[in-house]
Structure 1
Amino acid sequence: MRLGTALLPVISLASASAVPSWHDKSAHEVYHDTAASYRIPTVHESAVLARRILDIEKIATLSTIFPNTHTTENRPSDVGGSPIGLPDYFANCEPDTGNPTILELPIATSFKNVQAGSNISLSLRWHAPYRHWYSVASVPRFSLVGYLEELTDEEVKEESIAACFVKKHPDAAAWLPGNRIHVSKWVRFVVQEIYWIGGFGDRAYIGWIPLEEWQSVTREEMEKARLPGEGSGRSSWKSWFGLNDKQEMLEL
């Protein structure tokens, strides 16, 4: 089997961008030429990208653990202690804090598990626009570890939580607190830890983002940053921050 043919799947996954023309190069040369054009973003740069994802995306996975005792519903006897991840709505309604807002329906499994004492995490990923092809393995994703905290009536009013949330999720208007379908309440996901996978390790930071870095990201930084597939369609991670090839980001 020819080397070029054998490595084609690897090439398509290894690059966070469109692979340059490889008709005149071997697969080995293409991979290394592409990888060499990247500098791994700093921890703070990665925090900025994570906060931008939080601001743009609106569906995430809530992961919790089933309690060992379950008297409130008919569950299989062997699921106690097992994790379960379920999609849920969120919105960035308190952007100064980095704590996402969630409309909690206590009847839902994730929130029942939390009420029974489960830890909780919130996992997000960037969905690149359809017109730009990216391997899921090459685009940023991350997980937040924390806890849920109910918002006060004053906070809901001051932060215009309902309007913010419904702007992201128009259908959620039917489930706002006080609706006739289900009991619901506003909660914030208080972020304590952040684990980030920016893409492939030869061109992206993979690891923990300190909470102070997460909280220090400004609105200006979030608005200036660009994720893969945003804006001009350029693929270099430097273009995510609006830089040209001759500009460099400051290292931490």
Structure 2
Amino acid sequence: MRVEFILLYLLCVTATVVAYETVEDAAVIARNLVDNSKDSIATMATIFPSDDEELGDQPFSMQEYYASCHQNGSITLLFLPISRHSRNIYRSKEHRASISITSEIPAASRARVSLIGTVTVFDQGERAQDLEILKNCYLAKHPDARWWLPDDDDAAHIAYWARFDPHTVYFVGGFGDTHYIGYIPLGLYQSSGPQPSLSPVAGRILVTQGGL
């Protein structure tokens, strides 16, 4: 009986060690969540400007389209000045925002990642390079967005291309006894995606940020 108990104990300990995620594991899982999301719809959070008469300095979150088009994990957005998030970002110092992405079927036991960073808007004469690659990458995930693309005189709304660059990555792999929970170093997160500068990922193309 004692031998069986020891064997069972060793089996449990071994299983726990094998199941525990390292920060390197978490970085790969986080990039997979972002890069290979089935719908590429995230929850974006911004802050109302302090001089807003009703909701100054209050948080605001809502679902937002995105596309993972950059080798280093930066995210492509369509920036519509008419949207609440866009107005909050414009009024924010450094154009701050956060983007959270969950597993396809969200649950407490499943992985999710929150990216905190800044948004660069390509407007007022500043243009994104590799525009055709960028457009094809975005439309591969969101074909309905063809009705409000930038530089389309017939589009429903004014729009600009934008890039979200995370500076902080926070990851929850699930329950903490078996999964990694905590910050992922930015460099590790950036290097944990596909390595070639032009790599097909889930039917899309990743481009180097230097061109965008």
Scaled to the shorter chain, the TM-score interval is 0.7 to 0.9
- Structure 2: distance between partners of 1:113 and 1:106: 10
Where does the alignment leave 5 or more consecutive residues of structure 2 unmatched? 1-11, 200-212
The answer as to 2:17 corresponding to 1:43 is no
The answer as to 2:188 corresponding to 1:213 is yes
The answer as to 2:147 corresponding to 1:174 is yes
Aligned pair count reads: 178
Where does the alignment leave 5 or more consecutive residues of structure 1 unmatched? 1-31, 71-76, 129-134, 224-252
Q: Over alpha carbons, which structure has the higher Rg?
A: 1
Which of 86, 97, 104 matches 1:127?
A: 104
Q: One-letter code of the match for 1:122? A: I
The answer as to 2:188 corresponding to 1:188 is no
- Structure 2: distance between partners of 1:154 and 1:81: 31
1:153 corresponds in structure 2 to 127
Which contiguous aligned blocks of 4+ residues in structure 1 show a shift greater than 4 angstroms? none
Q: How does 1:63-212 map to 2 (within 5 A)?
A: 63-70=45-52, 77-94=53-70, 96-117=71-92, 119-128=96-105, 136-151=107-122, 153=127, 155-157=129-131, 160-179=133-152, 180-212=155-187
Q: One-letter code of the match for 2:158? A: V
Deviation at 1:219, TM superposition (A): 1.3
- Structure 2: distance between partners of 1:211 and 1:68: 29
- Structure 1: distance between partners of 2:77 and 2:176: 32
Show CA shifts across 1:169-189 (max 9, x none).
010010100233111011110
Deviation at 1:112, TM superposition (A): 0.2
Distance 1:170 1:148, change over 3 A: same
- Structure 1: distance between partners of 2:142 and 2:58: 30
Contact kept in structure 1, 2:41 and 2:66, CA below 8 Å: yes
Q: One-letter code of the match for 2:45? A: S
Contact kept in structure 1, 2:45 and 2:61, CA below 8 Å: yes
Deviates more, 1:211-220 or 1:58-67: 211-220
* Identity among equivalent pairs (%): 36
Tell me, what secondary structure is at the counterpart of 1:178? coil
- Structure 2: distance between partners of 1:92 and 1:218: 11
Q: One-letter code of the match for 2:190? A: Q
Show CA shifts across 1:39-98 (max 9, x none).
31111110001101111120001101111223xxxxxx441111010110000111x111
Tell me, what secondary structure is at the counterpart of 1:85? strand
Distance 1:150 1:42, change over 3 A: same
Q: One-letter code of the match for 1:106? A: P
Show CA shifts across 1:95-151 (max 9, x none).
x111010011011001101111163100110114xxxxxx70000001101000134
TM-score computed with the length of structure 1 as normaliser: 0.65
1:62 corresponds in structure 2 to 44
- Structure 2: distance between partners of 1:38 and 1:203: 9
- Structure 1: distance between partners of 2:141 and 2:88: 26
When the two chains are superposed, the root-mean-square deviation of aligned CA atoms in Å is 2.5
Q: One-letter code of the match for 1:50? A: A
Contact kept in structure 1, 2:27 and 2:192, CA below 8 Å: yes
